[in-house]
Chain A
Amino acid sequence: MAIESDVVVIGGGLAGATAALSAAREGAHVHLISANESTLRQASGLIDARGYPDPDADLDGDRRVSAPGPLVDPFAGIEDLPENHPYRVAGADALREGLALFDDAVGDLYRGGHTDRNALVATTSGRAKPTARYPRSMAPGVVSDERPMLLVGFEAATDFDASLAAERLSAAGVPFDVVGTTIAFPGEYRADAAVTRLAHALERDECVGSAHGENEGQGRTTRQRLADRIRPHLGDAERVGLPAMLGDARVEEVRADLSERLDAPVFEVPTGPPSLPGIRLADRLFAALDEAGVSMTTGMPVVDFESTGGADGDRIDRVIIDRNGAQIPYAAEQFVLATGGLVGKGLDSDRERAREAVFDCYVPQPDDRMQWSKAGAFADHAFARFGVEPDGAMRPLDAEGVPEFENLRAAGGVVGGADVAREQSASGVSLATGLVAGRTAAEEA
């Protein structure tokens, strides 16, 4: 026997969650298997679709003619991308439909769905990142807004240097004045306190005892004291950015309270992992999956599979997960591979070649390993485009162009053909391919 469902999705990141939701909404019973807690918990929470044009379009030989600027419209020019780009493979409407599914699942947690245009969101490193969707808590921080901005960092949160971020934003020519300052988070916490600890302190908003002086802060709550500490730095600022740790599920309550106390809208600046916006997004998407009746197993990797030969090629019968040595079979009609790329470990590599980790699907790559990369960290590396090459139903193809398995589809980072880091398109690729993989799987399940 085995655990049975119509569709098994392997991978709990954005692509896996999208594929599972897409299949479930078509009426399939879906089982989502994730090797670890969702990688969304490490993610910034921003949903990019296409931030930059093909970075090599303006190269003359190896010489850059002009620095490509961020794209205003992520949809523009999709038809000019290479044929094997995931957006071309998944089809013309896939990105738009993927974003629509996302908007519906996350509801008012997100902004950006009102327009096709990218927003520019200020990051902790002082960049303006083009993004298609952004958490509501970041909305007052968009760079197109011209109100003067104050960025506030915490001594304990060392990965956000607010002054440096402000300087860089100014140097990049943003259309507003921006200054940065660093303050101590109110209350007595260890210097390296977990961000969730501080977030929950803001959410609970309890009275905190004296931290420095005899009576300092007595009878005042965490939020009151935080606002007190920010106020002297306000100057002309009409909006205030803080590292993204303004509460967990009740971020809007924290933000509204702080905004009222400072008489200026308060927003979050996306931080590195562990990321509260990422955690909130994971929680919201998994709640949507739960509502859609999706079954979920988290924390165990798929280590093996069983297949049989069929009329149209091989067919996967079941995948096997490893539960501390015990092998548990999961059977289904259709399978979706959403295990990520080289970073997410859906692709594995050694000194000989890069391979897809679960089913060993064909991954096109140069024979000579020296051709995998070029000099320079952000150069046009071949490895960045590594991944399986699917057909229009997102089925990975072998070297002859025939589907590896008749009932296996791929989505997200494991799909090759795009340098998502340079394009800033990782989330959009996950949404577009996840949508199509989930839908086509459900249709045939």
Chain B
Amino acid sequence: MDLRPGADSCYKCTSCDTSCPVAEVDDSFPGPKFQGPEQWRLKRKEDTEIDDSITGCSNCMRCDGACPSDVPLSQMHNTARGEYVENQQPKLSREYIRNRILANYGTLAGLGSKVPRLTNAIMGNSLVQNVNEKLLGITAERDFPEFADRTFRSWWKQRGGPMVESEDKRIAYFHGDYANYNTVEVAKALVRVYEAFGYEILVPDQRCSGTPMFANGMLDDARRSAAVNVESLGDAIERGYDVVASCTSCSMALRQEYPELFDFEGTETVAANTYDALEYLLINENVIDPLSEVDADDHDIPDFAYHAPCHSRNQGLDRQAVELFRHLDGVDVADVGDSCSGISGTYGWKEEKYEYSMEIGEEMFEHMEHAEGQTGMTECPTCSMQMEHGTGYEIDHPLQVLEAALVDTDVEV
């Protein structure tokens, strides 16, 4: 794709650098302006390689929102990182192997979740964690996420698929790997909330959205995943389904990164018909009135410290949870500020990035501790890990709060 017009649009105001959470803590990282338009220009020269500082970008994509001139910064970063990995990064290096493993989390999770208890025991073993760090460069500071006893897809199958049928209200659920293997309760909450509003749900075939692959420059892996997703979701859209995702990085990938990086038939159609799960409900249903009838105190719904993930911010969705739960009596949902959580998917799992990741997260941890609520809330599974890691709080997804308020209480929706 021609990035020339984008590079020419940059007038060097450095707003992107100011918004970059990595440049804020890592002096070896020259910032998004260099990684984007400047690097693009430099590498026009044939003998110029991509600067290896590109691997320092965490792919939070905040620079996109900060740019007043619509320079496609994250597209430039993704493209440069992909080229760097393909042409310059040795395929037998520890970094490449580690990044490939992190980027393809779903493949490993598929294996591990076949024997969840055994996998949890092994991955929770401190010896294994130390070996991971020494051998692979995956930090031993973090606890590996636990696998659910049963995956969401297996639950869905055993349940017999959808409980509600509808001709005109139909969604295809893109759960992604994490809600399938780890936070199955988020996926179940989506099903229960949407069925309460009368939606027929389809759980189509799918692979990883590609977010961790983009972030590690594994564009071939991402392309393979995206091809499967675009075909499968495209079919569903043709049959009258809109696509919804519960993870804001997944919806971000389907809506923005796919059209920016790939040109499969139907890529644009999938992007134009994909929504975040809460966003879609707010557009199409009256959620506010039923929510206003509930008193949270009667149903043990706690106060929350809410963090908006960068990828929800990039979709303009950073305020929706806070504004919606204003209508739920008895609950205080405090926005813990606009900083990045610091984990950025796989970034904070890398041994050499861990300290930076925690330094970026410091502001969010502080704000969480000052907030009234002792429970966290966010849409992003890895932000959730970081919030829990930094504060010890339990973290819910907004869909789980909606489930507690609207489904468990039998309010008429």
Contacts and interface: CB of A to CB of B under 8 A. Distances in A.
A326 B17 contact: no
B313 A194 contact: no
Interface stretch (A33-41, A105-113, A124-132, A356-364): A33-41
B315 A194 contact: no
A182 interface: no
Interface in A267-322: 273-274, 279, 293, 295-300, 321
Interface residues of B, number: 40
A1 B285 contact: yes
Interface stretch (A185-193, A422-430, A435-443): A185-193
Interface in B114-169: none
Interface in A246-281: 273-274, 279
A399 interface: no
B314 interface: yes
B313 A299 contact: yes
A78 B299 CA distance: 60
Contacts of B23: 194, 197
Contacts of B284: 1
Contact of B27 (A1, A2, A189, A325): A189
A338 to B, nearest CB: 16
Given A196-B18, A274-B18, A326 B27 contact: no
Contacts of B30: 190, 192
B23, B68, B284 — which one has the most chain A CB atoms within 10 A of its CB?
A: B68
Given A195-B18, A297-B316, A190 B13 contact: no
Interface in B65-91: 65-68, 70
Contact of A274 (B14, B271, B279, B313): B14
A300 B256 CA distance: 13
Contacts of A299: 65, 313-316
Interface in B1-46: 13-15, 17-20, 23-24, 27, 30-31
Contacts of A195: 18
A316 to B, nearest CB: 18
Contacts of B285: 1
B24 A297 contact: no
A328 B279 CA distance: 10
Interface in A39-68: 39, 41-42
Contacts of A412: none
Contacts of A197: 23-24
Interface residues of A, number: 36
A188 B18 contact: no
Interface in B265-324: 268, 271-275, 279, 282-286, 313-316, 318-319, 323
A141 interface: no
Contacts of A279: 18
A323 interface: yes
Contacts of A327: 272
B259 interface: yes
A329 interface: yes
A324 interface: yes
Given A1-B283, A188-B27, A326 B316 contact: no
A240 to B, nearest CB: 25
A200 interface: yes
Given A188-B27, A299-B315, A326 B274 contact: yes
B20 A37 contact: no
B68 A194 contact: no
Q: Which 8 A-B pairs have the closest CB atoms?
A: A325-B272, A324-B255, A325-B271, A274-B18, A299-B316, A300-B316, A194-B17, A273-B13
10 contacts: A3-B283, A192-B30, A194-B31, A274-B13, A299-B313, A321-B316, A323-B315, A323-B316, A325-B268, A325-B272
